[in-house]
Structure 1
Amino acid sequence: MTDINLVSVIASCSLILATAIAFAKATDIVTYPRPVTADDKRTQYPAKLLQLGLSKSGEPFEIRSSEGIMLQGRALKLLELGKVVDVVWSMTSIDREKKLLPVRVPIYKGLIGWRLPLIREIDQRKFAAISHLDLLKPLFAGQGHDWPDTVILRKNGFQVSGVASYEGLFKMLSQRRFDYFPRSIVEIWAEAANHADKGIVVENSIAIKYKTAFYYFVNKGNQRLARLLSKGLYQAIEDGSFDRLFMEHHQEILNKAKLEQRKIFTIPNPILPVNTPLNEPKLWFELKDLDKAVGPK
């Protein structure tokens, strides 16, 4: 082979290699907010579901937590600015959907709107005596000052103390600064366990229910991530892997909640966006599905 031919072959191989590299799919890194505590179990399910959805999107993704700890309010603001984080999971509202792009698959199948009260253990009898909603509304509930739930409860006539610090809510409850702290059934059991030393327990007779959704949110300019994540989540719904992961993480807490034995106070959600997919039953968990979903109690 002449030197000219050898050079030609090497050049052709280099061109082929360069072309292959250029068209190879790079793995996208998707960053979510690092939780406040390393053992925060509330982060485990949404992070696993995020991984599941992206794995079924048809594109290569890797998820990572941010280097620094982030409270929800800061994480949402940074996401709006397109900085540090690529996705945040949070409850939807009209205001949030104006600022951020929602992936409209309720990651908790609506369970985030089933609220049980965290109370002081010594107050169990007082709450057990509440037979209708008008007896609950005059009591003071604690909530994060910037949470959508605060708006929902206030617009329904509840007395609500807005608090800036998440951990401060448990301290203030134990100090009788308010009467109860309504929490979703997907969060409440871990929180009760983490704060049992303060005399805080899950109230055992009441549930407040309103329609709402916890979504993955991305920056308005990240249409590609929203489209691929939605595609992957719907694929997981269709092949059953979404529900398997959901029940793996929630069957025990559904059994504990004993929703069918509670007085359920249903209230409207005035800040629920009109595009919420309420007409897709496969996306939502309902009380009538409880027995077949959770099995023997």
Structure 2
Amino acid sequence: MLFRVLPGLLCLLFATQASAATFRVGLLHGDARIFDYELSVIRLALAHAPGQHELEVVPMPGVPQNRIFAILNQTPGPINLFFSGYSPEREQRLRQVDIPMTRGLLGVRLFAVDNARLDELSGIHSLDDLRQWRIGSGTGWPENTIMRQNGLDLKTSSYDNLWEMLNYERFDLFHRGIQEIFTELARPGRENLAVLPGVALAFRYDYFLYVARDRTDLHDILLQGLQTAYRNGAFMDHFLSHPQIRTALDQSRLQNRRLIRLALPESSALGRIPARYWYTPNGRTASNP
């Protein structure tokens, strides 16, 4: 009798173990304040997925994104989850959770500029105007491809160096997401910088969650959790109530800005993601050539 019961107990034990996973997310720049919303989305997904899951944050300051993705594919490794901007290469090399984390707000960009140059740069009204200026962007950032395809002149370096380069006028504008820029400009030592008024970039783009190609288990937990949160309204409630999102929408005042829209490649896989997952910014569309 004992041996007939034991297999059932083992199955129950294995099922319990299978329903619990520990996610170790690598944190670019190592600054949890900047990515508070993105981390909260991961926690939301895990809370709405079946099973009991844990999240550990692994700061990775100074580590380039390409290196982080290489680490992500190591088994075992220090991390098994990362969020980053979309790129076709990342989608092919890794397993992507096809729900944009910020509903596309990452594709709405404002420009950090030197206070002393606000008047000089206030004449930017269209894509053609923007092409006349140098824009700071991160080395290896996937949106660089989209921007260059639209004719923008990018100067690239590491994230930390870009702020110094802006101070030394190595380029004219530094593009940042609307949910990032206000937190970043509030940091000490950036009192001489400001957000360029009256204009914003807009293109379909966002952070996505990535796991190693062979970790379908982790992928499915995250996808199921986010889909459930959308179905029961928890995702939208969280999105609209999170302080970073509210602050970003309030302070960016997109309705008062010209939106310079960038075209995506026709083959971009971002077009297959349902419209219900994307936020549509309201603003005046610039007269792009």
TM bracket (short chain): 0.7 to 0.9
| Residue in 1 that maps onto 2:72 | 79
CA displacement 1:106-148 (0-9 Å, x = unmatched): 0110111101111001111122222322121111001112111
1:169 partnered with 2:178: no
Mapped pair 1:25 → 2:38: no
- Counterparts in 2 of 1:114 and 1:81: CA distance versus 1, 3 Å: same
Structure 1: distance between partners of 2:92 and 2:12: 41
12 and 255 in structure 1: CA distance in 2 versus 1, 3 angstrom threshold: same
Identify unmatched segments of 5+ residues in structure 1.
Answer: 1-7, 290-297
More divergent stretch after superposition (193-202 vs 151-160): 193-202
TM-score norm. by structure 1 comes to: 0.85
Q: Say if 2:119 is the partner of 1:125.
A: yes
- Determine the structure 1 residue equivalent to 2:48: 56
Task: Show the counterpart of 2:261.
Answer: 266
Mapped pair 1:205 → 2:194: no
Pairwise CA RMSD? 2.4
The structure 2 residue matched to 1:103, chosen from 97, 103, 119, is: 97
Deviations 1:207-230 (A, max 9, x none): 011111311011110112112211
The change in CA–CA distance for 1:115 and 1:59 in structure 2 (over 3 A counts) is same
1:178-223 residue CA offsets vs partner (Å, 9 max, x unmatched):
0000111111111111255351111111101111131101111011
The answer to whether the 8 A contact 1:79-1:218 is kept is yes
* Separation in 1, partners of 2:107, 2:200: 10
For 1:142 and 1:32, locate their aligned partners in 2 and report how far apart those are by CA, in whole Å. Answer: 27
State the match for 2:88 in structure 1: 94
What secondary structure is seen at the aligned counterpart in 2 of 1:194? coil
**Which residue of the other structure, out of 7, 32, 35, is the alignment partner of 1:43?**
35
Contact 1:109 1:213 in 2 (8 A): yes
Bigger radius of gyration: 1
How far apart in 1 are the matches of 2:118 and 2:190? 17
What is the Cα deviation at residue 37 of structure 1? 4.1
Distance apart, 1:254 and its partner CA: 0.2
What is the identity, as a one-letter code, of the residue corresponding to 2:40?
K
The equivalent position to 1:179 in structure 2, one of 165, 172, 181, is 172
- Give the whole-Å Cα distance in 2 for the aligned partners of 1:233 and 1:260: 29
User: Helix, strand or coil for the counterpart of 2:264?
Assistant: coil
Relative to 1, partners in 2 of residues 1:116 and 1:91: Cα closer, same or farther, differing over 3 Å?
same
Q: After superposition, give the CA deviation of every residue in 1:84-103 in whole Å (9 maximum; x if it has no partner).
A: 21111111111111111110
- Does residue 230 (structure 1) correspond to residue 193 (structure 2)? The answer is no
Amino acid at match of 1:187: E
What is the aligned-residue identity percentage? 23
CA distance in 1, matches of 2:184, 2:135: 16
Q: Which has the higher helix share?
A: 1
Relative to the length of structure 2, the TM-score reads 0.87
The one-letter amino acid of 1:104's match is D
Q: CA deviation at 1:275?
A: 5.5
Residues of 1 paired with 2:71 and 2:144: CA distance?
22
Looking at structure 2, the residues matched to 284 and 114 of structure 1 have their Cα atoms a distance apart, in angstroms, of 12
